[in-house]
């Protein structure tokens, strides 16, 4: 039976980015259910995140420089664009490291992973920032409201060619991913190997693409708007409904489809608890009320309070993603000055915010356990261990250091093998901490 402190440490790792000793103590004092409520309360003050200034973007200068035909202006535009992209990534990393509402940043990241949009193609950092703000603002509310906003988000229009989707030449990119990834699921083989029917047809995709034609980007206002002469106003049939459907109809039909709640629940449960498919018994139970209200906060509360979330098997079912690993370590060690070196570590580990590998988002578990990530983690652990500011490990006597590191990193217990290596390393606090950070025990989320 895990102690409340261990349960809370598990909750903080999954619902946030792990906790410092102080944070784990604070949430533990509230009891487990109190800790869940506290995490889900997004009205609490967040001076940590508020202290990170939003980047200044140079969108108009970039567009003007690129369009000028002048070589020097073009070079300057490229530099500004690159600066903007870097500043945006750094801003979010700093915010995740500093926030006192960790669930909000984690949830924003989970939606970024779900509606995975890459700055590689979108190009404009300001558009990515806008999408990020939308996901933070709407992420804990109703899922259909979020999808509706994402469907007319500027970055999404650029990412899945929505701004090129016209009545004369429909482009299916957005419509396909809306149904396949964002709402209904592919219906193919999922975790557990169970095959079930695809909830939509190719005809649904073609007509959903027609229904979402005509959206263009209004640069001056920084919004998308429907241009009627580019929109296909004809009759379409999507998911069983026929009529002159538009984008909101498609969002309504997709988010109210019986496959939607299990698909979205399974996605969140896979990231927060353990890898599952939509047919998992726990997912089915959690998805039933979500299908009625589409209330993400209520879904999250039910996930965290479900006994399966704290089951022994769930505790060892996820590997920390690179982001969880790096942000969690920064928070635990009290690393100040989150610089671009942190961004480089994330790049080498394969998970830079705003740059998902594709529209399906980042992979999980085994994918992070390649020899490649093992190699980078040694580098990352060594670099971060050197920047330890929390005094406990350094000030402890060598024999007490392994336990001090366990406490610091919120690890329930060291395995015998890890304990042996830590004892061997305990003479040098930085080297011992490096070993702790690359231990198989710490790699589990």
Partner 1 sequence: MPSLPAPPPFSRREFLAGAGGVGAAMFLSGCTDGGGTATPPATSTPATSTPATSTPATAGATRPTGSDGVLVLVTLYGGNDALNTVVPIADPLYRQLRGSMAIDPNAALAIDDRFALHPSLVRTKQLWDTKQLAIVHGVGFDGLDRSHFHCMDVWQAGRTDELRTGWVGRWLDQVGSSPLDALGIGGGLPLLLRGARRSAAVVQPDTFALPGGPQLRSLVETLVAADATRPPLAAMAADTSRDLLSVIDAVGPLLNSPAAGSLSATTPGSPSPNYSANPLTAQLAAVAKIMASDLPTRIYSVGMDGFDTHTDQLATHAQLLTQLDAAVGEFFDAVGDADVTVAIYSEFGRRVQPNNSGTDHGAGGTVLLAGNVRAGHHGDPPLLDRLAEGDLTHTTDFRSVFGGLAESVLGVSSADLFGPQYRPLF
Q: Which residues bind partner 1 (CB under 8 A)?
A: 161, 164, 166, 169-173, 176, 180, 186, 188-189, 193, 195, 198, 202, 316-319, 350, 357-360, 363, 365-367, 369-375, 378-379, 382, 415-418, 420-421, 424-425, 431, 434-435, 438-441, 443-444
Residue among 234 and 427 whose Cβ is closer to partner 1: 427
Residue closer to partner 1, measured from CB, 188 or 234: 188
The whole-angstrom separation of Cα 219 and Cα 79 is 21
Supply the minimum distance, in Å, between the C-beta of residue 242 and partner 1: 20
CB atoms within 10 A of CB 384: 23
CA 131 remoteness from chain centre: 13
Q: Which residues pair with 216 in a beta bridge?
A: 225
Element (H, E) at 381: helix 371-385
In angstroms, what is the minimal distance from the CB of 369 to partner 1? Answer: 5
Nearest alpha carbon to residue 350 among 391, 322, 329: 322
Residue 259, both tokens: 């496959």
Minimum CB distance to partner 1 smaller for 57 or for 325: 325
SS3 (DSSP) at 226: strand
Nearest distance in Å: CB 376, partner 1: 9
CB of 441 to partner 1, least distance (A): 6
Measured distance CA(408)–CA(329) in Å, rounded:
10
Closer residue to partner 1 in complex, CB, 68/358: 358
The CB-of-264 to partner 1 minimum distance in angstroms stands at 17
Distance in Å, CB of 180 to partner 1, minimum: 6
Q: Which CB atom, from 248 or from 348, has the smaller least distance to partner 1? A: 348
Distance CA 415, CA 155 (A): 45
Q: Which is nearer to partner 1, 58 or 320 (CB)?
A: 320
The helix-helix angle for 260-272 and 296-305 (nearest 10°) equals: 50
Min separation Cβ 317 and partner 1, Å = 7
Residues in the chain: 445
DSSP 163: G
**3-state class (DSSP) for residue 241:** strand
Residue among 48 and 275 whose Cβ is closer to partner 1: 275
Q: How far apart are CA 307 and CA 92, in angstroms?
A: 32
- For the CA atoms of the chain, what is the radius of gyration? 23
Residue pair 234/272 in contact (Cβ under 8 Å)? The answer is: no
For 333-344, give one letter per residue: b (16+ CB within 10 A) or e. bebeebeeebbe
Our CB check for partner 1 shows the closer of 275 and 334 to be 275
Tokens of 194: 């169970």
Nearest to partner 1 of 100, 195 (CB atom)? 195
Cβ 408 to partner 1 shortest distance, Å: 18
Q: Quick one: angle between helices 31-40 and 4-15, nearest 10?
A: 20
Q: How far is the CB of 112 from partner 1 (least distance, A)?
A: 17
């Amino acid at each position: 039976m895990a102690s409340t402190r261990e349960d809370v440490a598990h909750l903080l790792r999954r619902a946030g980015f792990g906790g410092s000793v102080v944070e784990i103590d604070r949430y533990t004092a509230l009891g487990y259910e109190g800790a869940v409520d506290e995490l889900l309360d997004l009205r609490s003050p967040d001076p940590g995140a508020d202290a990170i200034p939003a980047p200044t973007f140079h969108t108009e200068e970039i567009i003007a420089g690129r369009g000028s035909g002048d070589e020097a202006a073009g070079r300057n535009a490229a530099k500004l664009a690159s600066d903007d992209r870097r500043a945006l990534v750094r801003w979010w990393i700093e915010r995740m490291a500093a926030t006192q509402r960790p669930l909000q940043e984690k949830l924003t990241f989970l939606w970024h992973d779900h509606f995975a949009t890459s700055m590689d193609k979108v190009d404009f950092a300001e558009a990515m920032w806008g999408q990020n703000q939308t996901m933070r603002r709407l992420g804990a509310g109703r899922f259909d409201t979020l999808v509706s906003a994402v469907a007319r988000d500027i970055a999404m229009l650029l990412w899945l060619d929505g701004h090129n989707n016209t009545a004369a030449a429909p482009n299916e990119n957005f419509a396909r991913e809306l149904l396949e990834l964002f709402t209904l699921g592919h219906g193919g083989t999922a975790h557990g190997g169970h095959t079930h029917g695809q909830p939509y047809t190719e005809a649904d995709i073609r007509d959903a693409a027609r229904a979402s034609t005509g959206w263009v980007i209004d640069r001056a206002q920084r919004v998308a708007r429907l241009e009627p002469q580019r929109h296909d106003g004809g009759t379409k049939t999507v998911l069983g409904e026929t009529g002159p459907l538009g984008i909101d109809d498609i969002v309504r039909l997709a988010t109210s489809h019986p496959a939607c709640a299990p698909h979205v629940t399974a996605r969140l449960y896979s990231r927060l608890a353990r890898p599952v498919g939509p047919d998992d018994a726990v997912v089915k139970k959690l998805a039933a009320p979500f299908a009625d209200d589409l209330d993400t906060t209520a879904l999250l509360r039910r996930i965290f309070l479900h006994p399966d979330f704290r089951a022994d098997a769930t505790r060892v079912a996820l590997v920390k993603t690179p982001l969880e690993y790096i942000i969690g370590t920064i928070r635990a060690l009290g690393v100040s000055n989150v610089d671009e070196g942190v961004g480089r570590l994330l790049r080498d580990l394969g998970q830079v915010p705003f740059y998902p590998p594709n529209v399906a988002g980042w992979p999980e578990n085994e994918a992070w356990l390649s020899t490649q990530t093992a190699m980078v983690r040694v580098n990352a652990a060594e670099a971060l261990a050197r920047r330890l500011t929390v005094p406990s490990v350094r000030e402890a006597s060598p024999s007490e250091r392994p336990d001090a590191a366990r406490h610091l990193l919120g690890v329930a217990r060291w395995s015998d093998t890890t304990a042996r290596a830590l004892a061997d390393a305990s003479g040098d606090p930085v080297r011992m901490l490096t070993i702790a950070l690359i231990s198989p025990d710490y790699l589990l989320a």
